Copies of this chain bind each other. A is one copy, B any other.
Amino acid sequence: MQWETSISEVSSDGERIRGYRLDELATNLSFAETIWLILFGEIPTKQKTKLFEAMLITTIDHGIGTPSAMTARIATSGGATLPAAAAAGVLSLGPRHGGAITQAAQMLAVAVTKQESASALVERYKQEAKRLPGYGHKLFTKQDPRTKTLLSLARDLQLSGPHAVLAEEIETMAAKTFSQLLPLNIDGAIAALGLDMELPAESLNGIFLIGRMPGIIAHIIEEQMGTKPMRRLSPDETAYHGAPPRSITHSDNDAF
């Protein structure tokens, strides 16, 4: 099996990432610039770097009560090593937790290409009784402050484009159309701004994973340093609603 790559080249002389010597990157670029380079192949402009840093920072942690922090800490409490607990945290980042970015990006990209208006799009989702990916948040029910920061910064940096414009129009139309407010959330904002910076839609979810990793590690280290024993639910936090007490009878498992 031959393994081919365009990412990096390693020899006994050293390593090159996307053609650049690793030591040149380490002494000249920021970590965020190097992340962009390894993911997308080129060094970003200063403006794009600034917005990219902000995107990574806003995903770094959303509190101890989120699935990624909880699974990482519970695994740690069972004695998992640092990589094992970090993996457990990462594994909770599915479509309902950080992973709506991909669907939101697809929705926005198609709508911009087809020049579908925000009102038509929202109406269509309402008719089909589908959830708008990248909208709504359990805690930030009126407005997601992280989103506003990113959109405002993008405008200041002149990086905001048609996807961000559409994303905000959808937020406005959704408020008029649905019975509850559905603010543009962080997943939706990363999708819109990533597309406006011409990043490939399928890679945007990776930004969330990279951005969240330090938060997961911080929760693991805090849990390791604590003195708490294995986390388990107390009996009053659980409820059993299954079959009543019973015994095995002959008829359960009849003759062969």
Where the two chains meet, the residues of A that have a C-beta atom closer than 8 Å to any C-beta of B are 1-35, 38-39, 41-47, 49-50, 53-54, 56-58, 60-68, 70-71, 73-75, 77-88, 90-99, 138-142, 145-146, 148-150, 153, 200, 202-203, 205-206, 209-211, 213-215, 217-222, 224-225, 229-235, 237-248, 252-256
Contact = CB atoms under 8 A, between A and B. Distances in A.
Contacts of A229: 96, 138
B75 A84 contact: no
Contacts of A210: 213-214, 217
Given A1-B231, A85-B91, A97-B230, 11 more contacts: A23-B145, A27-B153, A31-B32, A31-B35, A43-B253, A49-B253, A65-B238, A68-B78, A78-B92, A79-B94, A203-B217
Contacts of A64: 3-5, 7-8, 233, 238
24 contacts: A3-B233, A3-B239, A4-B238, A5-B64, A5-B239, A6-B240, A11-B235, A15-B146, A18-B242, A20-B247, A22-B57, A23-B145, A29-B57, A31-B53, A31-B56, A70-B71, A70-B74, A75-B92, A78-B97, A78-B98, A78-B99, A82-B209, A90-B90, A206-B214
10 closest A-B pairs (Cβ-Cβ)?
A79-B94, A65-B233, A6-B242, A19-B243, A78-B97, A79-B95, A10-B63, A46-B256, A87-B87, A79-B96
A7 B15 CA distance: 36
Contacts of A211: 31
A91 B87 CA distance: 7
A231 B70 CA distance: 10
Contacts of A23: 58, 145-146, 148-149
B67 A230 contact: yes
Contact of A215 (B38, B44, B224, B230): B38
Contacts of A237: 1-3, 65
A84 to B, nearest CB: 4
Given A22-B146, A30-B31, A71 B75 contact: yes
A36 to B, nearest CB: 9
A31 B52 CA distance: 9
A67 B77 contact: yes
B45 A253 contact: yes
A100 to B, nearest CB: 9
B243 A18 contact: yes
A241 B67 contact: no
